[in-house]
Each structure stands twice: as structure tokens, then as C-alpha cells.
Amino acid sequence: MNLLIDAFAWIFDPAHLGGPNGIPIRLVQHLTISLAVLVIASVIAIPLGYLIGHTGRGRSLAVSLTGGFRALPTLGLLIIVALWLGIGIEAPIIALVVLAIPPVLAGAYSGFEAIDRRTIDSARAVGMTEGQIVRKVEVPLGLPLLIGGLRSATLQIIATATLADYVGAGGLGRFIFVGLKSNDYSQMLAGSLLVIALALISEGIFALLQKLVVPRGVVANQNADVRTPSSRRVAVVGSPTEERK
Amino acid sequence: MNWVIENLPLIGQRTLEHLALSIPPIVLSFVLSVPLGWVANRYRLSRGVLLTVLGLLYAIPSLPLLIVLPIILGTGARDSINVVVALTLYGIALMVRTTSDALGSVSSDISQSATAMGFSPWTRFWKVDLPLAGPVLLAGIRVVAVSTVSLVTVGAVLGIKSLGLLFTDGLQRNIVAEVLAGMVATIALALLIDAALVLLGRLLMPWARATRTSSTRRSRLTAEAAAS
């Protein structure tokens, strides 16, 4: 346990709380990279996922794509892109975007798919146009699962952004790799604890968000469980945190 | 390509090391998830607590977990046991939810029929509930297997031997072919284990494939009955 105390002492050492190599700078780097990647991945994956979810076309392709990406070793991808583009910030961002797209895509289309088809048919029957169905029915009802997808994407990004310093991306991973090179275990441990804290905080925020975005109509009906299950098969998505409702 | 041909023995050795680190977590997480999933499914309170704790566990990034585990386990910082424990934890985090959902999806009519036939709770679990949950469990363990194989590579940055060492070594020596070979080998290994699990599932659950034919035959029979 002494090691743990050393690690906390390292974190709260005034020398590490400021300056160009301090914790705040590395934290900001980590957050900036993560946020940028999340935004880029969302801009690409959400419209695509909505298109797949709304039309039902290309679903099997999307399922096998999101499943297949799980087999892709993140470290290998980071390194191959880094060797290709050189050390710097572009390589990690591209690699991270590639890794973040599948969970966001899965969240977007599975959100649409989890909706009872009868709800959508009713919307069509009362005369809603396709655009209105997407905007007023599918997007609100699919939002909790989309947030779930963003949640696993964010976890993936925070975790891989830590690894990304292996190719010089900066961020909190820097403490781990500097500690590793200089055999400074308390610094490695301190970096690890900071990343874990960041991951758990983001997990908490997304869990809360996921609860908040459930439409009021659905919440009101939750006791009666009026939302009948989807008639389409639910895809197995590799996250224990997603909603199965 | 030359690099790959010259270093085939190395790739082979790394693949074996990789396999030795991947198989125990896959097996362990399956074996441990069955009782945990049962508990999670059986009691409402334990379900909430267990799934929340496991969800948080899953949220911990792999590299930091590999660094923190040694001080909890008392192992060396570069011990391969850390990888096995970390990946087992991730596997459990994924599998307990799947197991709990799978057991929960067994229709209560079936459970009650089994009880009425005289099955004790213990035999009912092994002979009725678990086999019926089988296909969903298989889907879950396939996800665990594939992500385990790819996560083993992360240990390489700490010097733990696996196919991941081809990535780190390739970066240091600037050999693209080595990194690519590592990636191809990792993905191939993941697909191979996945295929083995599917095969195992077919051997252990021959009814899972037969269901479709029997249901179409049933519908054909009802159609014929209706026509006559």
C-alpha cells in the first residue's frame, strides 16, 4: 500500500500540479484529444447510423463491421498509423476516430431498431412524413441507446488516448510512459490513477445523461411497461453498460 | 514481406505466447460468470449492485489496470498473471450481464413445467435453464473472446510477451511489415478462436440449429391442416 501512498504523494506534489509537464496540462491535452475525436466520430457515424436504422438497409454490414472492429488491436492500429504519418498528433487522432466510429454507429442504429415497429407504423399512419418520423419519433426514442454508444466510444477513446502517448500524443499517458522508462513506479501509478478517475467520471456523467434523455412519454409509461420489445433481433454489442430495454 | 518470411519462427512463438495469455481469461470469465450471472438474475438487489460494480470495472482502461493490479495482487509489474487477471475481470464484466439476461429470458412456463416434472432447482438449472440460455451465452463469450485476444496486445508496452511485442518492436525499429504481421496474426487468432467457439456451440447445442427447421415444419403442418 506504500506504493499507493507514494502515487498520491506524487499527484499532490506541487511540482506536478503546474508547469509545462504538470498534471493540468496533460489533463487538458487528454480531454482535448478525446473531445475532438468524439466530435469527429459522431459527425461521421451518427448520420450514417440513423440512415441504417431508419431504412434497415446495410444493417448486416454495419453489424459485422462493428463486431469485426473488436478484433482490431488498438495498439497495432495506433502504431501503424504513426509509422505511416509520422510522430505527432494527427496519427493518434485518426486511429482514435477509426476506433470510436463503430460504437457510435452501433448506438445510433440500434437506438432506432429498439423502437417497436408499431410505434413507427402508427406515426406513418397519422400522416407523418419520413423526415418527421425520424426527427419526432425515432431520434427521441433512440436517444438513450445513442448516448450508450457515445458512452462506450468515450471510454474507448479515453483508454486508447492513454496508449496514444506511446506514439507521442501527450496526455495523461505521458506519466505512465515516462515512469516506465525511468522505472519510476509511483509516477506510472499516479498516471494510471488519474486516467482511471477520468474514465469513471465520464462513465458517471454518461450514465446520468442516459437516464435524463429518456423521453417523458416513455418515463410516464415505464411502470406499465407499454413499450413492447423490438420485433427485430437485438445485436450483441460489446458493452455491459448499454440499456436493453 | 521478406521480414515475415525471415521471422516466421518468431511470429509462431509470439502467437503461442499470445494464445497462452488469451485462453485462460476466456475460460475463467465464462466459468465465473455462470454463478455470478445466476445470482444477478435471481435477486433484484444483487443484480443492481453486481451490474453497477462490473460496469465500473469495465470502464477502467486496460493499461492503467495492468499497472494498478500488481499492487493489489502483490505480483511483479511485468508479470503475465496481471494480464490474465485484468482480462478475466473485463470478461466477467461483459459476461455476467449476458448470463443474467440469458437466464432471465428463459420462459417461466418452461421453468414451471420443469418443476412440475419433478426437477429439483439444481437439476433444473443444469438441464433446463442453462441449455436454453446457451445460444445467448455463446454470443456473449464470442464477444469476450474476440476482445480478449485483441486486448492481450496492450501488455506489450509493459514488456509482457505476446503478438503485441511485434507492434512495439516494429515501431522502435521502423519495420511496417512487422507491425502489419502482428495485426494480421492477432486478428487471425481472434477469428480462429471465434470459429472454434461456434463449432463448440454446434457440438454442444445441436438443437440451436434444428429449431428453425422444426418451426418451419410446424408452420407447414399447420398450413396443411388448415388447407385440408
pLDDT tens profile A162-192: 888 888 778 888 888 888 888 888 888 888 8
- Average pLDDT of chain A, as a whole number: 82
Residue of B nearest to A180 (CA): B158
Residue A244 pLDDT: 45
Residues of A in contact with B160 (CB under 8 A): none
Q: In this predicted complex, what is the ipTM?
A: 0.78
How many inter-chain contacts (A to B, CB under 8 Å) are there?
A: 141
Query: Which residues of B are less than 8 Å from A187 in CB distance?
Result: none
Q: Does A77 touch chain B (CB under 8 A)?
A: yes
**Inter-residue contact B93 to B33 (CB < 8 Å):** no
Does the beta-carbon distance from A241 to B158 stay under 8 Å? no
Tell which of B22, B41, B67 to mutate to test the A interface (max A CBs under 10 Å).
Answer: B67
Is A226 part of a structural domain of the chain? no
Query: How many domains does chain B fold into?
Result: 1
Asked if B188 has any chain A CB less than 8 Å from its own CB, the reply is no
Q: Residue A98 sits in a domain of what CATH number?
A: 1.10.3720.10
Q: Taking the mean position of all CA atoms in its chain, how far away is CA A110?
A: 15
C-alpha cell read off for B213? 427447421
Which of residues A19 and A97 earns the better pLDDT score?
A97
Confidence (pLDDT) at B149:
92
Q: Which CATH number fits the domain that encloses residue B223?
A: 1.10.3720.10
Most confident of A66-80, A84-98, B22-36, B48-62: B22-36
Determine the Cα–Cα distance for residues B72 and B17; give it in Å rounded to an integer. Answer: 24
Measure the CA–CA gap between A66 and A171, rounded to whole angstroms: 27
| Parent domain of B139 | 2-227
* Dihedral over alpha carbons B89, A207, A230, A234 (to 10 degrees): -30
Q: What is the pLDDT of residue A223?
A: 54
Closest to B155 measured CA to CA, from B87, B73, B63:
B63
The answer for B60, left when phi > 0, alpha when psi is -120 to 50, beta otherwise, is beta
Q: Does A164 map to a domain?
A: yes
The reply to whether A242 falls in a domain is no
Q: Can you give the pLDDT of all 228 residues of chain B as single tens digits?
A: 677 787 788 888 888 889 999 999 999 999 999 998 888 888 877 778 888 888 888 888 888 888 888 888 888 777 888 889 999 999 999 898 888 888 888 888 888 888 899 888 888 888 888 888 888 889 889 989 998 998 899 888 888 888 888 888 888 888 888 888 889 999 999 999 999 999 998 888 887 765 554 555 555 555 555 554
- CB-nearest partner of A75 from B60, B77, B167: B167
**Total domains in the fold of chain A:** 1
Substitution target in B79, B136, B171 with the highest count of A β-carbons within 10 Å is B171
Instruction: Quote the domain boundaries for residue A41.
Output: 2-12+22-215
Decide: A157 and A30 in contact? Cβ < 8 Å. no
Q: Is B183 on the interface with A (CB under 8 A)?
A: yes
Does the residue A228 lie in any domain? Answer: no
HSE of A195 in the Cβ direction (CA atoms, 13 Å)?
39
The minimal CB distance from A162 to the residues B61, B143, B186 is found for: B61
